């Protein structure tokens, strides 16, 4: 059924790749099922078992979109997880213990995600959580995380409100358990406004998905343009539903408004579909500049229509910048393994495992509150560069925007030239000017 | 029923439990089970709460389908109505209520007020929607309720009044009650389970009373033959309207519980595919039995959960229910509860036990005639040639 | 400002709706079955077409015909094996609705099993894959082809129903099944035939729309409700009604984004409620009109 219908929450748990053979998994399933039947006929109650101890593997739970229009994000994250896991386990694991990851499908639905995460914590007794692709899902999940009292490292979902402490804004749901290792919409769109500053364009429009992420992108963009003094008029906006399938009417409506430039946060298969249909409607001839705020995350893994060269796109991680040993070796090894450049989803998930490794080793165990203490204010370094967790648990990573260029060597689109805009707390607050939107950092 | 004193009732109940597989024994076991589940592992408590909520949703739906023969594909509207009612009260009125009653107890008061508002909202919507919908029958009724449900979906998504927060829905935070140093989280798994269990049992009992009242008997007459009921002087449309409203209210209660359980009131609740969950659960459980939707909801949630534990099958649970749905309608219209009765008859023989306990499961058979009291032996209706469902095996 | 492209896009959206709604309407008009799985048939048509193009023969038109016929066979098999068992029940129409809903789930999951849950898109056939610029707006030439084909189906179907012997049997059976049976019409075979025809049309709709939209398993669920609206507005069983209704909704979908205002996506459902209450037989008449 469609996205967002999740009423009772389905649990398409996918086993994190190579660990636990399916045989073991299904016998566990059967045992638990019998327990359930037992409980319902009042034959007694089985206690929680396993996990959380000091020996045996460390189990982490992850929740990503593994089915539907945005499944490619989950697939990328799974690669990053698998890659990090095998690297960690080959090099002595975490404090000598192997790490296992259980990956579950959120189906891009908050309801389902909550049930999956609850099941990971209460059924599988995981030691830590990470993941999430969708802002709407993250917003619904964050309050639950503080109830479960388990650290959650968001690796992709971008809404600033999950790293804005509850009470700061009416939509803020940030709390001490929720962290984010990737850049937020507030950071990303700051970069978009900086790009807009340089462009010869005054009339701006947007076409984005019909939920928080689409609207927030547009709100922040307008606020930044205002704060940075960018001369811009905002002339048209379209918010088609997720998984629309046919964007032509919306495309046509934007073209009729004839803006100079468009900022689009469409993502997943929706973006691929949009690009194909925009091309045949003459979009890229008519509109001078199109800024794809989630562009590279979709462009690299998708085999559909690529983003046309010369347009602008952002990423939360660039495989070439910073030009450090860590980043270069990560890119080379990843390319060797999968034959594609790493996307930011893969890198964010990859880094989450290393963040847990560092926190667990430093805390000397997997006690959730000790891990939360470790993550709080942690300084860390990974392929994306050096960064620190801010007061609101947001990584102080840069906003990365560049021009889409096809690269023959890597046989895919890359950002070249690419700009990194530092997007720390002070920069963002200042750029937001008088707006009441939180910087989320 | 002659014993009036409490002691007499207790001893009567005790002997009824000891006597055999009577209704009392089932009731006692059920009550003990409900209490024991409170102490189960957290996830199982959660799953069981989920089951109770879906069961109430399906039960409310079946009041209309099983008892007046009207198939609604839009009951998600009332499910969402209850959920949004409480969600909006929690979001917008929480601080105001805290000012009035004090911060300590306010989450509890807000929860209760929200529940009542959700229920009232659903009834207010159901009165006109029901009045219009019952003008139609059969497939046309299914279509108009589908249209009303999707109309609600569109309005919630587009949010013209600025209340529903569009596609993202409204987050539900139940809060913590602070009283003299002790604090209790309303949304805590076990407490929320207890709240849900008490509510669902009470609502189920209420539905059971309605079904077994003269009103319920008239409903059944209408289902068997609207024309004949009309000829007997029953105002068919009026009865259907009233049933529609009660049915919607029950679904609204389930919606209120759903919001707290899921922590979010999302527009998907009123999408037709959510309405379809009630149809699936009811048909699989057996629409002609009072407890059919409950058993169907149990099957729906627990089979789905069991499937989810098997990585190779997990993604295709809908296939399983699709096949089951087709098979039940084609070959075994009595559904799971009918199957259980059949099994019992096979095991214990046709006559004796069936006679004593026909109503034990709260069953009333599809073919119950207009004049048949529901507690009477289910089989009395097997000779009814007008039976349209449930008796073809 | 309404451009020519908006109109062309609206009509092409309407064309694809027509192909699915007309089969739905035909089946309801003759058999009395509201086929919930009709959206699934439409989706299946798109998938089979894509599969034939990428695995068997790289010719869109052949693949589309194969896709449509394959869906027809699936539809006929469903009618023959499941729906047929229900005609004699007292409340058969609700049972049929539930059974076809069961097939919605089965088709959806089978497609996901075979092709995954991602989405696919293909280019229109090369001959028509160019942009047309008219009055300052641009659209793909294939849209005109899609509209033309829908009109051809409308005319062909109308001639078929009103001018052929089979058509007269269909009309006769739809108005009085018992009488037709007494006059020697093989009603069960006729029913299977009509179900086959309706399914072929849905499959054809899916196949012809494949170049205009992303094909994903959710396609069926999205389109079936819109098709219900079209059938209700146009009238159950009415071919011309389905055409007018489809074009109306298509134009609404195309122009809606330009005049966006709160509540605009609610309008089709509101229209459906009003038509059901005031004119349950639809705005147009029955079969053959």
Of B157, B169, B277, the CB nearest to A7: B277
Residues of chain C positioned with their CB less than 8 A from the CB of B326: 82, 99, 102-103, 106
Of the listed ranges A112-121, A152-161, A296-305, C54-63, the one predicted with least confidence: A296-305
Distance CA C115, CA B86 (A): 41
- Compute φ and ψ for A192, nearest 5 degrees: -60, -40
Q: Which of A321-325, A436-440, B312-316, C202-206 has the lowest mean pLDDT?
A: B312-316
Find, in chain B, the residue whose alpha carbon is nearest to that of A5: B268
- Cα–Cα distance, B322 to C98 (Å, whole number): 10
Lowest-pLDDT range of A270-279, B323-332, C110-119: C110-119
From first CA to last CA, the distance across chain C in angstroms is 35
Is B162 in the C-facing interface, judged by CB distances under 8 Å? Answer: no
Write phi, then psi, for C195 (nearest 5 degrees).
Answer: -65, -40
Longest dimension (CA), chain A: 73
CA–CA dist A208, A216 (Å, integer): 10
- Is the Cβ of B163 closer than 8 Å to some Cβ of chain C? no
Q: Do B41 and A33 touch (CB under 8 A)?
A: no
- B43:A122 CB<8 A: yes
As a whole number of angstroms, the distance between CA C261 and CA B159 comes to 11
8 Å CB contact of C221 and B273 = yes
Residue B155 lies in a domain: yes
Q: Which helix (H) or strand (E) holds A416?
A: strand A412-421
Closest approach of C171 to chain A, Cα-based (Å): 36
Query: Has residue B276 been placed in a domain?
Result: yes
Mean pLDDT, residues B234-260: 91
Tokens 């040993």 -> residue: A325
For residue C81, what are the contacts with CB-CB under 8 A and spacing of at least 6?
A: none
Q: What pLDDT is recorded for position B379?
A: 37
Q: Are the beta carbons of A392 and A441 closer than 8 angstroms?
A: yes
Mean pLDDT to the nearest integer, C108-123: 82
Q: Is the pLDDT of residue A165 over 60?
A: yes
Which of A254, A256, A238, A259 is closest to C135 using CA atoms? A256
pTM greater than 0.95: no
Nearest residue to C17 via CA among C230, C260, C203, C219: C230
With a cut of 90, say whether residue C45 has pLDDT above it.
yes
| Per-residue pLDDT at B3 | 46
Across residues A195-214, what is the average pLDDT? Answer: 90
Percent of chain A exceeding pLDDT 70 equals: 86
- Is residue B274 helix, strand or coil? helix
Residue B242 has pLDDT above 80, yes or no: yes
User: Smallest Cβ distance to A68: which of C117, C121, C212?
Assistant: C117
For residue A332, the model assigns a pLDDT of: 92
Nearest CA in chain B to C271: B147
Q: Say if residues B86 and B259 touch (Cβ distance below 8 Å).
A: yes
- The residues with which B335 forms a beta bridge, in sequence order, are none
User: Residues B32-61: what's their mean pLDDT?
Assistant: 86
Within 8 A of C133 by CB-CB distance, chain A residues are: 282
Q: Which residues of B fall within a CB distance of 8 Å from A147?
A: 185, 187
Query: Which residue of A lies nearest to C120 if distances are taken between CA atoms?
Result: A304
Residue pLDDT, tens place only, A16-54? 333 332 333 333 333 333 333 333 332 222 333 334 445
Q: Which residues of C169-200 are buried (b: 16+ CB within 10 A; e: fewer)?
A: bbbbbbeebeebeeeebebeebbbbbbbbbbb
State the pLDDT at residue A82: 93
Q: Determine which of C15, C138, C216 to mutate to test the interface with A (most A C-beta atoms within 10 Å).
A: C138
Task: Using pLDDT thresholds of 50, 70 and 90, give the confidence band for residue A294.
Answer: confident
Q: Dihedral sign, CA of B268, B270, B273, B279?
A: positive
* C-alpha pair distances (Å), B25 with each of B30, B360, B361: 8, 10, 11
**Closest CB to A243 among C13, C218, C254:** C218
Cβ <8 Å between B314 and A13: yes
Query: What is residue A413's predicted lDDT score, i.e. its pLDDT?
Result: 87
Hey, of A280, A281, A282, which one would you mutate to test binding to chain C, going by the most C CBs within 10 A of its CB? A280
Asked if residue C2 lies in contact with residue C252, where contact means CB atoms within 8 angstroms, the answer is no
When CB atoms are compared, the residue of A72, A252, A270 closest to C137 is: A252
Nearest to B353 by CA among B19, B116, B36: B19
> Which residue would you say has higher pLDDT here, C126 or A231?
A231
For the record, the structure tokens of A403 come out as 């021009």
Out of B25-39, B186-200, B293-307, which region has the weakest mean confidence (pLDDT)?
B25-39
Indicate if the pLDDT at residue B131 is higher than 80: yes
Interface of B with C in 308-367 (CB under 8 A): 315-316, 318-319, 321-326, 329-330, 333
Nearest CA in chain C to A305: C121
How far is the C-alpha of A313 from the C-alpha of A310, rounded, in Å? Answer: 9
Strands of the A152-154 sheet, one edge to the other = A13-14, A99-105, A58-64, A128-131, A152-154, A178-180
Compute how many other C-beta atoms are within 10 angstroms of the C-beta atom of residue B305.
26
Identify the pLDDT of residue B129. 94
Instruction: Report the candidate in A296, A42, A322 with the shortest Cα–Cα distance to residue B34.
Output: A42
Chain C CB within 8 Å of residue B142 CB: yes
Contact call for A13 and B168, based on CB within 8 A: no
Contact partners for chain C, using 3 or more CB pairs closer than 8 A, are A, B
Q: Find, in chain A, the residue whose alpha carbon is nearest to that of B262.
A: A111
In whole angstroms, give the CA distance from residue A412 to residue A439: 33
Provide the pLDDT for residue B373: 36
CA nearest neighbour of C167 among C267, C50, C42, C30: C30
CA distance B268 to B255: 12
CA C112 to chain B, closest CA, distance in angstroms equals 8
Span C187-211, average pLDDT: 90
From residue A308, alpha-carbon distances to A74, A246, A285 in Å are 24, 19, 11
pLDDT in tens, A254-268: 888 889 999 999 988
pLDDT of residue A328: 92
User: In this model, does residue C79 exceed pLDDT 70?
Assistant: yes
Q: Is A149 in contact with A367 (CB distance < 8 Å)?
A: no
For residue C219, the chain A residues in CB contact (below 8 A) are 245
C-alpha torsion angle, residues B249, B253, B255, B257 (rounded to 10): 180
Please report the pLDDT score of residue B363 as a whole number: 38
Of the candidates A122, A104, A139, which has an alpha carbon nearest to the alpha carbon of residue A213?
A139
Q: How far apart are CA A166 and CA A168, in angstroms?
A: 6
Check if A9 contacts B (Cβ < 8 Å).
yes
Residues 6+ apart with CB under 8 A from B209: none
Q: Is B360 part of a structural domain of the chain?
A: no
Say if the Cβ atoms of B268 and A5 lie within 8 Å.
Answer: yes
A185-320+398-432 has CATH 3.40.250.10 classification: no
Closest to C9 measured CA to CA, from A280, A264, A290, A238: A280
Residue A2 pLDDT exceeds 70: no
Task: Count Cβ atoms within 10 A of the Cβ of residue A96 and give its class: 0-12 exposed, 13-18 middle, 19 or more buried.
Answer: exposed
pLDDT confidence tier of residue C262, bands split at 50, 70 and 90: very low
| pLDDT tens figures, A82-135 | 999 999 999 989 988 999 999 988 888 888 888 889 888 988 889 999 999 888
A222, A188, A187, A228: which is closest to A424 by C-alpha? Answer: A187
More confident call, A162 vs C256: A162
Q: Which of A30, A36, A215 sits opposite B44 (nearest CB)?
A: A36
Distances (CA, A) of C85 to B351, C56, C73, C95: 32, 36, 18, 10
Q: Does the pLDDT value for residue B64 go beyond 70?
A: yes
Interface confidence (ipTM) of the complex: 0.87
- Contact criterion met (CB below 8 Å) for B384 and B365: no
Of B157, B269, B308, the CB nearest to A7: B269
Helix (H, G, I), strand (E, B) or coil at B184: strand
Neighbours of chain B (3+ CB pairs under 8 A): A, C
First to last CA, chain B: 35
Residues A8-20: pLDDT tens digits? 333 333 333 333 3
Confidence of residue B16 (pLDDT cuts 50, 70, 90): low
Chain B partners of C109 at a C-beta cutoff of 8 Å?
316, 318-319, 322
Residue B368 lies in a domain: no
Across the interface, whether the CB atoms of A280 and C140 are under 8 A apart is answered yes
pLDDT tens-digit map of A316-336: 999 998 889 999 999 999 999
Give the one of C131, C138, C214 whose C-beta lies nearest to A245's C-beta: C214
- The pLDDT score that the predictor gives to residue B378 is 38
Q: Considering the domain boundaries, does residue B152 fall inside one?
A: yes
Both tokens assigned to B255: 């919606």
Domain ranges, ordered by start, for chain C? 4-278
H or E segment to which residue C241 belongs: helix C239-255
CA distance C80 to chain B (A): 13
Name which of A3, A72, A238 is nearest C257 (Cβ-Cβ).
Answer: A238
For C40, other C-beta atoms within 10 Å of its C-beta total 32
Candidates B42, B46, B267; nearest CB to A4:
B267
Give yes or no for C175 touching A (CB within 8 A): no
Three-state DSSP at B60 gives helix
Whether B237 contacts chain A with CB within 8 A: no
Q: What pLDDT, on the 0 to 100 scale, is given for residue A304?
A: 65
Give me the pLDDT at residue C154, please: 92
A5 to chain B, any CB pair closer than 8 A? The answer is yes
> What does the block give as tokens for C79?
């009618």
Residue B352 falls within a domain, yes or no? no
pLDDT of residue B332: 82
Residues in A closer than 8 angstroms to C137, CB to CB, are 252, 255-256
Contact B273 C232 (CB under 8 A): no
Q: Do B311 and A22 touch (CB under 8 A)?
A: yes
- Can you read off the two tokens belonging to residue C71? 């869906």
Owning domain of residue B291? 17-312
Torsion sign, CA atoms B313, B316, B319, B325? positive
- Closest partner residue to C121 among A253, A256, A273, by Cβ? A273
What is the share, in percent, of chain B residues with pLDDT greater than 70?
Answer: 83
CA-to-CA distance for B73 and B146, rounded, in angstroms? 5
- From A72, A253, A276, residue closest to C257, measured CB to CB: A253
Question: Is the pLDDT reported for residue A301 higher than 80?
Answer: no
Q: Structure tokens of A100?
A: 């296992």
Q: CB-based contacts of B175: which residues, under 8 Å, 6+ apart?
A: B90, B94, B106, B107, B110, B111, B185, B186, B187
Which DSSP state fits A44?
Answer: -
What Rg do the C-alpha atoms of chain A give, in angstroms? 22
pLDDT band, very low/low/confident/very high, at A206 (cuts 50, 70, 90): very high
| Number of domains chain B is built from | 1
Decide which of A13 and A277 is more confident: A277
Amino acid B390: pLDDT: 36
- Is the CB of A39 less than 8 angstroms away from the CB of B42? no
CB C46 within 8 A of CB C209: yes
Least confident of B13-22, B331-340, C275-284: B13-22
Both structure tokens of A168: 């700061």
CA angle at A173 for the pair A172 and A174, rounded to the nearest 5°: 100
pLDDT, tens digit (0-9, with 9 covering 90-100), for A370-379: 999 999 999 9
Please write down the long-range contacts of A223-226, taking CB distance under 8 Å and 24 or more positions apart: A223/A432, A223/A433, A223/A435, A223/A437, A224/A189, A224/A190, A224/A192, A224/A193, A224/A431, A224/A432, A225/A193, A225/A196, A226/A433, A226/A434, A226/A435
Q: Is the pLDDT of residue B22 over 70?
A: no
Distance (Å, rounded) from C-alpha A418 to C-alpha A193? Answer: 15
DSSP string over B202-260:
HHHHHHHHHHTSHHHHHHHHHHH-HHHHHHTT--HHHHHHHHHHHHHHHHHHHHHHHHH
Pairing of strands A379-382, A289-292: unpaired
Overall average pLDDT of the B286-308 stretch? 86
Average pLDDT for residues A159-186, to the nearest whole number? 89
Contacts C229 to B, Cβ<8 Å: 147
The reported pLDDT for the residue numbered B290 is 87
- Per-residue exposure over A147-156, b if at least 16 CB sit within 10 Å of its own CB, e if not: bbebbbbbbb
Task: Using pLDDT thresholds of 50, 70 and 90, give the confidence band for residue C5.
Answer: confident
Residue B85, pLDDT score: 93
Antiparallel, parallel or unpaired: β A399-407 and A312-315: antiparallel
pLDDT of C1: 62
Chain A CB contacts of B43 under 8 Å are 118-119, 122-123
């Amino acid at each position: 059924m469609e996205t967002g219908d999740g009423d009772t929450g389905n649990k398409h748990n996918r086993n994190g790749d190579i660990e636990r053979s399916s045989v073991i998994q299904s016998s566990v399933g059967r045992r638990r099922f019998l327990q359930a039947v037992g409980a319902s006929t009042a034959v007694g109650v089985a206690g929680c078992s396993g996990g959380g101890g000091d020996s045996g593997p460390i189990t982490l739970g992850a929740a990503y979109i593994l089915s539907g229009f945005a499944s490619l994000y989950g697939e990328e994250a799974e690669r990053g997880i698998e890659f990090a896991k095998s690297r960690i386990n080959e090099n002595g694991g975490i404090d000598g213990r192997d790490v296992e990851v259980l990956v579950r499908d959120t189906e891009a639905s908050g309801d389902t995600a909550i049930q999956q995460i609850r099941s990971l914590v209460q059924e599988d007794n995981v030691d830590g959580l990470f993941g999430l692709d969708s802002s709407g899902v993250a917003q619904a999940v964050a309050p639950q995380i503080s109830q479960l009292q388990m650290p959650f490292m968001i690796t992709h979902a971008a809404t600033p409100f999950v790293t804005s402490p509850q009470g700061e804004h009416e939509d803020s749901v940030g709390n001490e358990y929720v962290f984010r290792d990737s850049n937020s919409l507030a950071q990303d769109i700051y970069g978009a406004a900086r790009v807009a500053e340089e462009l010869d364009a005054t009339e701006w429009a947007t076409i984005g998905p019909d939920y928080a992420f689409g609207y927030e992108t547009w709100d922040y963009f307008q606020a930044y343009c205002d704060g940075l003094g960018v001369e811009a008029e905002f002339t048209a906006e379209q918010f088609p539903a997720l998984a629309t399938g046919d964007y032509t009417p919306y495309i046509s409506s934007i073209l009729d408004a004839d803006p100079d430039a468009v900022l689009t946060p469409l993502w997943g298969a929706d973006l691929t579909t949009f690009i194909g249909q925009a091309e045949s409607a003459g979009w890229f001839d008519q509109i001078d500049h199109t800024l794809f705020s989630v562009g590279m995350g979709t462009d690299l893994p998708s085999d559909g229509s690529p983003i046309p060269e010369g347009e602008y796109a952002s990423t939360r991680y660039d495989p070439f910048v910073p030009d450090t040993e860590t980043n270069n070796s990560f890119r080379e090894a990843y390319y060797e393994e999968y034959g594609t450049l790493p996307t930011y989803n893969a890198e964010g998930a990859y880094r989450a495992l290393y963040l847990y490794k560092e926190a667990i080793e430093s805390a000397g165990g997997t006690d959730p509150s000790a891990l939360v203490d470790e993550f709080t204010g942690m300084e860390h370094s990974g392929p994306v560069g050096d960064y620190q967790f801010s007061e609101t648990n947001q990584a102080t990573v840069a906003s990365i925007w560049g021009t889409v260029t096809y690269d023959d060597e890597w046989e895919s689109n890359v950002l070249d030239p690419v700009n990194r805009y530092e997007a720390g707390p002070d920069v963002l607050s200042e750029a937001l000017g008088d707006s009441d939107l939180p910087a989320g950092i | 029923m002659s014993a009036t004193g409490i002691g007499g009732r207790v001893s009567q109940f005790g002997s009824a439990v000891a006597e055999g597989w009577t209704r009392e024994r089932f009731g006692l076991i059920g009550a003990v089970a409900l209490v024991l589940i409170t102490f189960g592992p957290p996830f199982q408590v959660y799953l069981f709460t989920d089951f109770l909520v879906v069961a109430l949703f399906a039960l409310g739906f079946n009041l209309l389908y099983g008892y007046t023969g009207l198939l609604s594909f839009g009951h998600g509207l009332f499910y969402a109505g209850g959920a949004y009612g409480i969600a909006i009260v929690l979001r917008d009125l929480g601080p105001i209520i805290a000012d009035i009653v004090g911060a300590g107890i306010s989450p509890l008061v807000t929860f209760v007020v929200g529940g009542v508002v959700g229920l009232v909202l659903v009834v207010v919507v159901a009165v006109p929607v029901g009045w219009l919908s019952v003008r139609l029958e059969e497939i046309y009724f299914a279509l108009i309720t589908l249209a009303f449900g999707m109309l609600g979906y569109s309005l919630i998504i587009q949010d013209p009044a600025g209340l529903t927060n569009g596609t993202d829905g409204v987050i539900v935070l139940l809060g913590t009650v602070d009283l003299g140093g002790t604090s209790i989280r309303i949304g805590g798994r076990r407490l929320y389970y207890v709240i849900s269990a008490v509510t669902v049992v009470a609502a189920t009992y209420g539905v059971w009373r309605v079904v077994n009242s003269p009103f319920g008997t008239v409903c059944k007459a209408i289902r068997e033959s609207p024309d004949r009921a009309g000829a007997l002087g029953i105002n068919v449309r009026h009865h259907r309207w009233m049933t529609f409203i009660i049915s919607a209210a029950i679904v609204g209660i389930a919606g209120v519980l759903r919001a707290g359980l899921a922590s979010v009131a999302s527009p998907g609740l009123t999408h037709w595919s959510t309405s379809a969950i009630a149809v699936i659960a009811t048909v699989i459980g057996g629409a002609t039995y009072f407890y059919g939707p409950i058993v169907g909801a149990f099957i729906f949630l627990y089979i789905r959960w069991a499937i989810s534990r098997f990585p190779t099958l997990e993604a295709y649970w809908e296939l399983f229910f699709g096949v089951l749905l087709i098979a039940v309608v084609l070959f075994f219209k009595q559904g799971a509860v009918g199957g259980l009765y059949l099994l019992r008859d096979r095991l214990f023989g046709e006559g004796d036990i069936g006679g004593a306990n026909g109503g034990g499961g709260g069953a009333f058979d599809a073919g119950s005639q207009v004049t048949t009291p529901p507690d009477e032996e289910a089989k009395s209706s097997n000779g009814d040639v007008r039976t349209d469902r449930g008796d073809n095996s | 400002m309404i451009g020519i492209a908006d109109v062309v896009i609206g009509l092409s959206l309407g064309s694809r709706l027509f192909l699915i709604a007309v089969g739905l309407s035909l089946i309801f008009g003759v058999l009395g079955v509201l086929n919930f799985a009709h959206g699934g048939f439409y989706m299946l048509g798109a998938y089979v077409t894509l599969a034939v193009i990428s695995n068997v023969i790289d010719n869109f038109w052949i693949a589309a015909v194969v896709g449509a016929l394959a869906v027809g066979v699936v539809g006929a098999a469903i009618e023959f094996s499941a729906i047929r068992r229900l005609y004699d029940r007292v409340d058969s129409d609700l049972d049929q609705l539930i059974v076809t809903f069961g097939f919605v789930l089965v088709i959806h999951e089978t497609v996901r099993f075979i092709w995954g849950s991602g989405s696919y898109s293909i280019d229109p056939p090369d001959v028509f894959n160019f942009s047309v610029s008219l009055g300052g707006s641009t659209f793909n030439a294939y849209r005109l082809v899609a509209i033309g084909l829908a009109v051809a189906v409308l005319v062909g179907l109308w001639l078929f129903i009103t001018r052929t012997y089979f058509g007269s049997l269909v009309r006769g059976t739809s108005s009085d099944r018992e009488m037709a049976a007494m006059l020697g019409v093989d009603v069960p075979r006729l029913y299977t035939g009509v179900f086959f025809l309706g399914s072929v049309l849905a499959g054809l709709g899916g196949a012809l729309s494949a170049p205009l939209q992303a094909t994903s398993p959710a396609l069926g669920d999205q389109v079936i409700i819109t098709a219900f609206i079209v059938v209700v507005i146009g009238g159950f069983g009415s071919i011309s009604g389905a055409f007018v209704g489809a074009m109306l909704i298509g134009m609404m979908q195309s122009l809606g984004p330009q005049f966006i205002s709160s509540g605009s996506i609610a309008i089709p459902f509101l229209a459906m409620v009003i038509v059901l209450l005031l004119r349950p037989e639809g705005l147009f008449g029955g079969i053959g009109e």
